[in-house]
Amino acid sequence: DADVTQTPRNRITKTGKRIMLECSQTKGHDRMYWYRQDPGLGLRLIYYSFDVKDINKGEISDGYSVSRQAQAKFSLSLESAIPNQTALYFCATSLGRDTQYFGPGTRLTVL
């Protein structure tokens, strides 16, 4: 969905490096989410944010941090990347508790 953009789309990094994934949306939604996708495991929630001042941990938040810089921007950081964080990362947005809409994803490889 072009209304939700993610940068970069692909990233290869080394163990121990800090990396930031960015998400922007033009849908005017208040809620934003970060998920990771691993084969056979579906998508798992890392963090979610109801608004700029309200950030919550998901089911797999260890090793990750987030920042909601504005209503339209939500960044995910890996302070010290490790190989098992290699995955496909998705940002999603919703208006309240309505349907979530996803960005195109960022493929992250940690060597």
Give the interface with another protein as residue ranges (CB under 8 A). 1, 4, 31, 33, 40-45, 48, 50, 56, 58, 90, 92, 94, 96-105
Q: ∠ CA(69), CA(45), CA(13), 5° rounding? A: 70
> Closest CB to another protein among 86 and 94?
94
> Closest CB to another protein among 72 and 101?
101
The pair of three-digit structure tokens given for residue 10, joined into one six-digit string: 């692909």
Residue 94 to residue 28: CA distance in whole angstroms: 9
CB of 80 to another protein, least distance (A): 27
Spatial CB neighbours of 71, under 8 Å, sequence gap ≥ 6: 30, 51, 52
CB of 43 to another protein, least distance (A): 4
